[in-house]
Structure 1
């Protein structure tokens, strides 16, 4: 069943409609919300929403509870391939919790929060931007880690990044829902404007496993991996010192040593290597530059250090 959770009049007799699909079966009272499309250039979640909904349609007898799928919180952004809300150039994930009597964006965000609130778990799926590619990961704030890490371990991601409180913006959907008692996990995976099917399959297996653990799925599930957790570990940031074209020679998940060669910044005009990029610390690469054009200060990689390491 498809439902409108918000509708705002636009010009020329059009409306901005935020919709969800509710799949309900059995007598179970558990509810999982799968949310995506907050940023219009993040498309991994679109395919994941299709995969989950399609699979449950084909095995509806195994569902015992409620699944709400919100495939496009920012439909105009998706339609126009725009990260923010078009016309306003406004990042939707900086407007929550919104208000019922504010601007268009605030009213929409308020309706979204009100509709999702009360879910047993919400999975908020994001991609990276067009510049960086992220290994499948869940990002959690320090105050919510004790509550959320057990659920994060069920979702078949490679990495759980526990952020310091100062890095968590109160204007995000996840912070708003967590502060109101709805357990919300933020997933980051892949790259902007692309669909990485293997990452979507990986998270699909995790979603079905989480539903099984919640007691709302009676069907078969695939084994899930044990994620690396950042608790007690620092993150090293590799930034470019020169402008040019970044050509990596390392890959996601690679374990490197400080000083290892992980790529080059080259100058097409002079046909020279203007920077030999080196790992700033020991550890695992979990973010890597995807868009090759870089300038001084551009982020090239993130490296999770072993316990006890010091980030540079």
Structure 2
């Protein structure tokens, strides 16, 4: 059975209603297992829109093999998506900083609380993000070290290139993933691609991983799709490259390229003088898993992240 259901709604000042919907796909024994696929928290992150669309199509074809329920939430921030605005339109606020929400506070906190209530209790939630317009990311899963023991075994089947285990000190408690994990709902955060774009190959890669995880959860009566083993790393293996001056970043390497320590990554050019303000060199040998996409940079701008030793 397939159903479009309203998760939570709230009245807007203009006489309209903000509604959050989900696509519920049920197989046999719908109450036995439940998987939640969540995306669209940030309005400029569109990679998950393709995943939500294509996954629904894939699961409908496999519905006779489905055991349990899959809930797909394509747009937690529909106003942000429709206006290409990262945060909540009308508010200088990041939606992923107001969870777990509250039924007694502002409209958006009420919406956040309704989302948490609806997802809570799922056997697994996959929270899909893209990067912003400034950076391109390889497909990766980010995990709080406090939840690593529970989440890593399933994350390894998600067909992502890289599993990054963050220290607890770097994880914000007001995110959807942290709130759900705190409630006992295992939640994996996927990051991939670049803002305002869809990278179809990344989306297809993740869909294969989702089917693989569903097989591990005994939600699909078919062999587990083959997935590549990911690199697993912690904060200590990640090197950061930041600009020391402003200008235009001209890359000399490609995203997902493996580099050697000291290799030239790119230049910061001065369009006015025709000169070079800075040469950026790799601080370590490894894999470029984050690379600057938007060329205008200021002092301190993140240029690249390198996974050391991934050669």
The match for 2:129 is 126
Q: SS where residue 222 of structure 1 aligns?
A: coil
The match for 2:86 is 83
Q: Deviation digits for residues 244-295 of structure 1, max 9, x if unmatched?
A: 1111121233222221111111122222222111001222211000001111
Q: SS where residue 125 of structure 1 aligns?
A: strand
- What are the ranges of 5 or more consecutive residues in structure 1 without an aligned counterpart? 308-312
The correspondence of residues 165-204 of structure 1 with structure 2, limited to 5 A, is 165-204=168-207
The match for 1:32 is 35
The match for 1:237 is 240
- What are the ranges of 5 or more consecutive residues in structure 2 without an aligned counterpart? none
Q: Deviation digits for residues 107-158 of structure 1, max 9, x if unmatched?
A: 0111000000010000000000000000000000111111111111010000
C-alpha change, 1:232 and 1:105, in structure 2 (3 Å) is: closer
d(CA) in 2 for partners of 1:219 and 1:13? 48
d(CA) in 1 for partners of 2:62 and 2:222? 8
d(CA) in 2 for partners of 1:261 and 1:12? 53
Contact 1:234 1:304 in 2 (8 A): yes
Q: Deviation digits for residues 95-118 of structure 1, max 9, x if unmatched?
A: 000111111011011100000001
Equivalent residue for 2:76, pick from 46, 54, 73? 73
Q: Where in structure 1 do 4 or more consecutive aligned residues deviate above 6 Å?
A: none
Task: Decide which moves more: 256-265 or 143-152.
Answer: 256-265
The match for 1:310 is none
d(CA) in 1 for partners of 2:33 and 2:135? 36
The match for 1:115 is 118
Q: SS where residue 209 of structure 2 aligns?
A: helix
Equivalent residue for 2:46, pick from 43, 49, 59? 43
TM-score norm. by structure 2 comes to 0.96
Cα RMSD over matched residues? Answer: 1.3
d(CA) in 1 for partners of 2:262 and 2:115? 47
C-alpha change, 1:271 and 1:232, in structure 2 (3 Å) is: closer
d(CA) in 2 for partners of 1:232 and 1:10? 42
Contact 2:216 2:224 in 1 (8 A): no
1:220 CA displacement: 5.3
Task: Decide which moves more: 35-44 or 228-237.
Answer: 228-237
d(CA) in 2 for partners of 1:17 and 1:165? 33
d(CA) in 2 for partners of 1:280 and 1:187? 26
Q: SS where residue 203 of structure 1 aligns?
A: helix
Aligned length: 307
Q: SS where residue 131 of structure 2 aligns?
A: coil
Task: Decide which moves more: 135-144 or 242-251.
Answer: 242-251
Q: Deviation digits for residues 176-227 of structure 1, max 9, x if unmatched?
A: 0001100000000000000000100110110111111111112455311111
The correspondence of residues 244-255 of structure 1 with structure 2, limited to 5 A, is 244-255=247-258
